[in-house]
C-alpha cells in the first residue's frame, strides 16, 4: 500500500455513544474523515464537542460504537483490546497535556519503557532514546528525574517518548495546556520541526495561536464534523 496515494487514516460513519443508567450520550456522530501521511491537522471546537473522544479513538485507546476506522490500510475499529494495544504501541505516539511521565523513573527510563513493551533489544532501545533526546535538545538531562525538570523540559521529554518509536502518527492533546507562553511556544516549534521532518500530527488545541500552525483544521460541534478546511490564519 502506498501512503502517498491512500490516506493514513480513514474514518467512515464513525460514531461513539456512551450509555449510563438513564442517559445516552452521542459523543461523536457519523464522522467521515481522511488524514494523509505527513499532514499537520488541528482539532478544535467548544468543550464537550467530542475532541478528546475522537483523539482516543484515533489512538486506539477506545473503539467506536459504529462505523469504520482504517489505519495504514488496516481496519482497526473492531480489534480486541489486546490487538489494539499491540497496534497502538507501534503506530501511535501520544503527547498529553499533563506530561504523564513516571516520577520515579529517569528521563532515559521514561522514554525507554514503551520500547521495552514493543520487545526491542536493549542496544536498539538505547540508540532510539539517545536520538529522540538529541532531537528535543535534552540529551544532557538523560539521567535526571521529572521533578528535576521544568514544565517545558518535561513536555519535551514527553515529545521524545512519543517519537522515539517512530510512530505513524503523533496525537497531541492540548500539548501546551500546562505551560507558560514561552515554554508553550518552544514545544510548538518542536512540533513544527517534527512536521517538517515528515511527521503526521493530529493536535487538539483551544489556542488560536497554535491552531494557526497546523496546515488543516477540523472543527467539531456537538459530536459532528462541521468542517475540515485548510487553515488560513497568519502565524504571529
Q: Give domain limits for the chain.
A: 37-63+80-230
CA distance 60 to 171: 11
Q: Which pLDDT does position 3 carry in this prediction?
A: 40
229 or 80, higher pLDDT: 80
Percent of the chain with pLDDT over 70: 94
Judge whether residue 122 has pLDDT over 60: yes
From the centroid of its chain, how far is CA 152?
18
> What is the signed CA dihedral for 155, 161, 167, 171, rounded to 10 degrees?
-30
Q: What is the mean pLDDT of the chain?
A: 91
Residue 205 CB contacts under 8 Å (≥ 6 apart), including other chains: 42, 43, 44, 172, 174, 175, 176, 211
Judge whether residue 76 has pLDDT over 80: yes
Question: Residue 23 belongs to what H/E stretch?
Answer: none
Rounded to 5 degrees, φ, ψ at 93 are: -115, 135
3.30.70.250, 1.20.120.430, 3.40.50.300, 3.90.550.10: which CATH number matches 37-63+80-230?
Answer: 3.40.50.300
Where are any strands of DSSP class E within the chain?
A: 9-19, 24-35, 40-44, 66-71, 74-75, 92-95, 169-173, 201-204, 216-221, 224-230
Average pLDDT for residues 181-208, to the nearest whole number?
92
> Are 197 and 163 contacting, i.e. CB atoms less than 8 angstroms apart?
no
Average pLDDT for residues 148-165, to the nearest whole number?
96
Q: Which pLDDT does position 5 carry in this prediction?
A: 67
Average pLDDT for residues 116-140, to the nearest whole number?
95
Lowest-confidence segment of 3-7, 57-61, 90-94, 181-185 by average pLDDT: 3-7
CA distance 128 to 79: 28
DSSP SS3 for 224: strand
Judge whether residue 234 has pLDDT over 90: no
Average pLDDT for residues 32-39, to the nearest whole number?
95
165-191 tens-digit pLDDT: 999 999 999 999 889 989 999 999 999
Q: CA dist 209 to 46, 98, 175, 215, Å?
A: 16, 20, 13, 13
Strand order in the sheet with 92-95: 92-95, 169-173, 201-204, 40-44, 216-221, 224-230
Three cell numbers written together for 9: 487514516
Average pLDDT for residues 88-113, to the nearest whole number?
95
Q: Which pLDDT does position 210 carry in this prediction?
A: 84
Q: Which pLDDT does position 236 carry in this prediction?
A: 35
Judge whether residue 230 has pLDDT over 80: no
- Residue for grid cell 520500547: 115
Amino acid at each position: 500500500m502506498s501512503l502517498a496515494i491512500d490516506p493514513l487514516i480513514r474514518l467512515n460513519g464513525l460514531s461513539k455513544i456512551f450509555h449510563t443508567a438513564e442517559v445516552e450520550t452521542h459523543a461523536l456522530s457519523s464522522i467521515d474523515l481522511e488524514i494523509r501521511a505527513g499532514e499537520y491537522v488541528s482539532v478544535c471546537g467548544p468543550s464537550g464537542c467530542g475532541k478528546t473522544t475522537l483523539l482516543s479513538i484515533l489512538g486506539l485507546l477506545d473503539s467506536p460504537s459504529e462505523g469504520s476506522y482504517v489505519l495504514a490500510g488496516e481496519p482497526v475499529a473492531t480489534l480486541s483490546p489486546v490487538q489494539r494495544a499491540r497496534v497502538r504501541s507501534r503506530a501511535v505516539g501520544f503527547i498529553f497535556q499533563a506530561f504523564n511521565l513516571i516520577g520515579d523513573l529517569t528521563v532515559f527510563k521514561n522514554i525507554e519503557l514503551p520500547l521495552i513493551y514493543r520487545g526491542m533489544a536493549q542496544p536498539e532501545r538505547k540508540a532510539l532514546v539517545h536520538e529522540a533526546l538529541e532531537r528535543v535538545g535534552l540529551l544532557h538531562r538523560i539521567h535526571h528525574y521529572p521533578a528535576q525538570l521544568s514544565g517545558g523540559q518535561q513536555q519535551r521529554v514527553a515529545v521524545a517518548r512519543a517519537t522515539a518509536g517512530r510512530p505513524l502518527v503523533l496525537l497531541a492533546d492540548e500539548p501546551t495546556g500546562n505551560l507558560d507562553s514561552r515554554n508553550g511556544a518552544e514545544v510548538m516549534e518542536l512540533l513544527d520541526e517534527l512536521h517538517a521532518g515528515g511527521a503526521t500530527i493530529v493536535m487538539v488545541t483551544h489556542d488560536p495561536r497554535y491552531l494557526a500552525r497546523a496546515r488543516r483544521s477540523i472543527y467539531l460541534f456537538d459530536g459532528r464534523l462541521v468542517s475540515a478546511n485548510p487553515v488560513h490564519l497568519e502565524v504571529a
